[in-house]
Amino acid sequence: MAPSATPRTMTETAAPLAPVRIGLVSISDRASAGVYADQGLPALREWLARAVRNPVEWEQRLIADDAPTISATLRELVDDAGCALVLTTGGTGPAPRDVTPEATLAVAEREMPGFGEQMRQISLRFVPTAILSRQVGVIRGQALILNLPGQPKAIAETLQGLPALVPPVPGIFAAVPYCIDLIGGPYLETDPAVCEAFRPKSARRAVQAAPQS
């Protein structure tokens, strides 16, 4: 009788995590003009660098609150730079220059309203003015575009959720990797200590994390 095959280990069968290109856009008249230092891009990148286990190629933009500029930037990041995920921060309130949602919808192929709804639910735990926020989530091609709040603390809360509450409140990023799966983008793996991505069992893969630098 031939010897039985040795079972392959997880390391042998797991595929390496593919690099992912992520676009970060901070939208502010004054920060883009140098009146004060931008806080949006550092806050986005710091959280994502902890949460995402894939090797990440960053595309960062700091632009003014101008609808044509915002739309052009989003198109460039998705269509030309090949970003699978684009996160914006700033310009989602009711003020006249807050035009990020309109500029985002202008480049959308489909809207994903659940992302904005959940962000407002999280922010309402802290301030009643969260109902004034108008963040949207949309799909363009094989990319997901999400508008986030403008403050670094609110950025982390909406992405990560409120795990210490009873019951815990999930953040929006838990749904991001599976959404990107469904639209044909790269497989994103997250660090569960920061934000555990949710996928149906049938959609999970064995993967190797990139070595930490």
Q: Is residue 8 part of a domain?
A: no
Q: How high is the pLDDT of residue 94?
A: 97
111: enclosing H helix or E strand: strand 110-111
Nearest to 21 by CA among 48, 58, 65: 58
Q: Is residue 179 part of a domain?
A: yes
CA angle 12, 16, 22 (to 5 degrees): 165
Domain with 32 in it: 18-208
Report which DSSP code applies to 77.
I
Q: Is residue 11 part of a domain?
A: no
Give the other-Cβ count within 10 Å of 65's Cβ. Answer: 20
State how far the Cα of 200 lies from the Cα of 178, in Å rounded to an integer: 9
Parallel/antiparallel/unpaired status of strands 207-208 and 15-16: parallel
State how far the Cα of 188 lies from the Cα of 173, in Å rounded to an integer: 11
Contact (CB, 8 A) for 208 and 15? yes
Q: Is residue 95 part of a domain?
A: yes
Amino acid at 156: A
CATH number of the domain residue 132 falls in: 3.40.980.10
Amino acid at 108: A
Q: Is the pTM of this model over 0.85?
A: yes
With cut-offs at 50, 70 and 90, classify the pLDDT of residue 165: confident
Q: How high is the pLDDT of residue 167?
A: 82
- Provide the Cα torsion 187, 191, 194, 195; round to 10°: 40
**Sequence-separated (6 or more) residues with CB below 8 Å from residue 113:** 136, 137
**Based on the structure, what is the number of domains in the chain?**
1
Q: Is residue 12 part of a domain?
A: no
For 5-36, the pLDDT digits (tens) are 444 444 446 788 999 999 999 999 999 999 99
Q: Is residue 120 part of a domain?
A: yes
Q: Is residue 57 part of a domain?
A: yes
Q: Is residue 149 part of a domain?
A: yes
Q: How high is the pLDDT of residue 15?
A: 81
**Sequence-separated (6 or more) residues with CB below 8 Å from residue 206:** 10, 13, 14, 15
Q: How high is the pLDDT of residue 209?
A: 63
pLDDT of 90 strictly over 70: yes
**Sequence-separated (6 or more) residues with CB below 8 Å from residue 197:** 173, 174, 175, 176, 177, 178, 188, 189, 190
With cut-offs at 50, 70 and 90, classify the pLDDT of residue 2: very low
